[in-house]
Homo-oligomer: A and B are copies of this chain.
Amino acid sequence: MKSLSIKDIAVKAGVSITTVSFIINGKARDKSISEAVIKKVEKIIVESGYKPNQIARSLRTGNSNIIGLIVEDISNSFFSKIARLIEDKAYKKGYKIIYSSTENHIEKAKELITMFKSRKVDGYIISPIKGLEEDIQQLMADNKPVILFDRNLPDLDANYVGADHFKATYHSIESFIKQGKKKISLVTIDIDVQQITERLTAYKKALADYDIPYEENLVLKVHFNQDEKETMVQMEKLFQTEEIDAVLFATNYLAISGLKVLKQTGKKIGNDFSVIAYDDHEVFELHTPGISAVQQPLEEIAETVIQLILSQLSSKTKLDNQHIILPAKLIER
Task: Give Cα A1–Cα B56 distance, bound, in whole angstroms.
Answer: 22
Contacts of A13 in B (CB 8 A): none
Check A263 for interface membership: any CB of B closer than 8 A: yes
CB distance from A110 to the nearest CB of B (A): 12
Residue with the highest number of chain B CB atoms closer than 10 Å, among A81, A84, A142: A84
* Complex interface: chain B residues within 8 A of A259 (CB): 286
Complex: how many Å from CA A51 to CA B115?
9
Number of A residues contacting the other chain (C-beta, 8 Å)? 49
Is A119 an interface position by the 8 A CB rule? yes
Residue A91 CB within 8 A of the other chain? yes
CB distance from A266 to the nearest CB of B (A): 11
- Do B64 and A75 touch across chains, with their CB atoms under 8 A apart? no
Is A217 interfacial (CB 8 A cutoff)? no
Contacts of A119 in B (CB 8 A): 54-55, 96
Decide: B96 and A96 in contact? CB cutoff 8 A. no
Interface, chain A (partner B; CB < 8 A): 1, 3, 51-56, 58-59, 64, 66, 73-75, 77, 80-81, 83-84, 87-88, 91, 96-101, 114-115, 117-120, 141-143, 256, 259-260, 263, 281-283, 285-288
Copies held by the complex: 2
Q: Is A1 touching B98 in the complex (CB atoms < 8 A)?
A: no
Partner of A52, one of B83, B118, B141: B118
Docked-complex contact A87 and B59, CB < 8 angstroms: no
In the assembled complex, the CB of A265 is this many whole angstroms from the nearest CB of chain B, namely 14
- A74 contacts which of B1, B59, B83, B96 (Cβ < 8 Å)? B83
A120 to B256, CA, bound (A): 41
Q: Which residues on B sit within 8 Å (CB–CB) of A100?
A: 87, 91, 96-97
CA A320 – CA B247 in complex, angstroms? 56
Whole-angstrom distance between the Cβ of A5 and the nearest chain B Cβ:
12
CA of A104 to CA of B169 in the docked complex: distance in angstroms?
38
